[in-house]
Each structure stands twice: as C-alpha cells, then as structure tokens.
Amino acid sequence: MILALGDIQALNPNGIWEGMAVNYLGPYIFTKTLLPLFESTASLDGANVRIINVGSGGYRYAKYLEYDSKEAWNHPFKWYLLPSLQRYEYSTLALHLWTNKLARRLSEKRSKFVLTMTYKAPLGRRCSPALLPPVSSVLDLVTCAPRDNPEIFQGAYIYPPSIAVPQAPVALDEDGQRKLLEFTEEFLRSAEV
C-alpha cells in the first residue's frame, strides 16, 4: 500500500493516481487474471488456496465515496486538511469494497478457496514478534489464517492473530461496490487491459 506524503498527486500513464493504481487496481487485475487458476487449484484434493488482501484501518475514515469515474478516482481532495491521507483512505476503501464484493460472489458460488482481508499495521507484532519485520509480515499472512479456524471465513477482515473483526458499514455498501466494479471494468476496457 502506498501513502503519498505531501500534496502530490502523481498520475500513472493511464491517467490514474498512482496510489489508487497500486492500492486497488493492481490487486484487482492480479486477482482477476489468476482467478481461474485459483479456482482450479482449490478443487484439487487437499488444496488450501487463499487470497489475503492487505488493507488498512484508514478505509473507515474515507469521506469521499464516489468511484464511478476517472475524475472520482483522481479526486483532488484539495479542501481537506491532509489531501494525501484522504487519497490513501479513499484507495484503501476501494480495496475493501472490491474484496467484499468478490467474497460475496465466491460464497454464492461456493468457491473452495478463501478470500480474506487483513489489517496491515499489526503484522509482525502479534503472530511472530521474534522474527525480523520483513520476514514476519510475510509469515503472518500465511500462518495467521489456518483453514480450520472458525474466525476465518469468506470475506473476513482479519486482525492478527486470526481474529475476525467487523468492517465499517461503508466497506459493506453494495451500491458502492457495484459502482466501483462497473467503472473498474469500463476503465480496464478503455485501457485495453
């Protein structure tokens, strides 16, 4: 996840704020591309396939909630005290919205692989504090979500060590999820991705 400090809103070659591209669009494209592989692998005997999106508690503070246009994705947040923080919160909310939408879809079709979201701040502090931070963050994502743990379910928002916590209502807004997904697909078609 990227938090751009200062009031710089750099755009990528497709005209999207870089933070939105990295914090939301990158995971979206990666997952969409590999979804058939995840599904087929999860159908194998003994397979334990999961996607763990790394979110941020900042999503709950996002104040601008429009996701249905390129202009919305590049909202300047110029009337906010900390525009860069608002952009970050906006992009992390997008990740939460999409993760919840996909988790619901996977549940409806009874997918065998699990999609969860974890809160990034405590990674490395609660599950394996003795390890070095770069190593522990990766290990926490893998070891803190065993399949037989009742706290782990499709779309769960996991705080290490493997505790599901409720998400703020803004991340569960189905209309917001739909608008985000519709524009995402429209944008990807226009960018020929």
Report CA-CA distances (Å) from 99 to 81, 134, 186: 28, 24, 18
What pLDDT score does 122 carry?
46
pLDDT of 33 higher than 90: yes
Residue 45 in tokens: 């005997």
Distance, in Å, from the CA atom of 73 to the CA atom of 65, rounded to the nearest integer, reads 10
pLDDT band at 3 (very low <50, low <70, confident <90, very high): low
The tokens 């999860």 sit on which residue?
42
Task: Specify the pTM.
Answer: 0.83
105-130: average pLDDT: 72
CB 64 within 8 A of CB 90: yes
pLDDT of residue 150: 67
Highest mean pLDDT among 115-129, 150-164, 165-179: 165-179
The pLDDT of residue 172 is above 80 = yes
Positive or negative, the CA dihedral 121, 127, 133, 134 is negative
- Looking at per-residue pLDDT, the higher value among 127 and 82 belongs to 82
pLDDT attached to residue 23: 92
pLDDT value of position 124: 44
The pLDDT assigned to 78 comes to 84
pLDDT digits (tens, 9 = 90+) for 52-111: 888 888 899 999 999 999 999 999 888 888 888 899 999 999 999 999 999 999 999 988
18-190: which CATH architecture? 3-Layer(aba) Sandwich (3.40)
> Does the pLDDT of residue 144 top 80, yes or no?
no
Average pLDDT score, the chain? 83
Q: What percent of the chain has pLDDT over 70?
A: 78
What is residue 137's predicted lDDT score, i.e. its pLDDT?
52
Domain locations in the chain?
Answer: 18-190
Q: Is the pLDDT of residue 175 over 90?
A: yes
